Amino acid sequence: MTSKNNNATIQFLNGISEPVVPEIRLTRSRDGKTGQAFFTFEEPNALSSVKDGEIKGMKMIDEEGELNTREVKARFLNGVPSAIEATYVWKNETDFQRFMRFAQRYAEKNGMGYSEK
């Protein structure tokens, strides 16, 4: 499913798309119904433009709407924030399929590939 107007984006701050493309890893339960997506953004722009406590979550936005997670934390190197790590959790097949449609659009927009380990 390819969108002609692909606006899939990730935001930490309202209205500001994060240009740094993350590494994304997925895990699923044995039955495939639940799982998590782990995002790691190395040196994201959001860290340079935030004030203390301003990042309260991550939004994944596309033509279908928004997916949100509040599971976001900063990783520090020598006392300076160097990365953002976020986790998106799905609890059923419908939510997983919705996430995968976003991920496909985001990957296409950003020239990302997919590999299984």
The per-residue pLDDT for range 106-115, each reduced to its tens digit, is: 999 998 876 6
Domains contained in the chain, number: 1
Residue 86, domain extent: 9-110
The per-residue pLDDT for range 14-72, each reduced to its tens digit, is: 899 999 999 999 999 998 889 999 999 999 999 887 665 588 899 999 999 999 999 99
106 within some domain: yes
63 within some domain: yes
4 within some domain: no
Beta strands in the chain (DSSP E): 9-13, 16-17, 23-28, 35-42, 58-62, 65-69, 72-77, 80-90
3 within some domain: no
Nearby residues of 83 by Cβ (< 8 Å), 6 or more positions away: 40, 41, 42, 43, 44, 74, 75
Return the CATH number at 69.
2.40.30.220
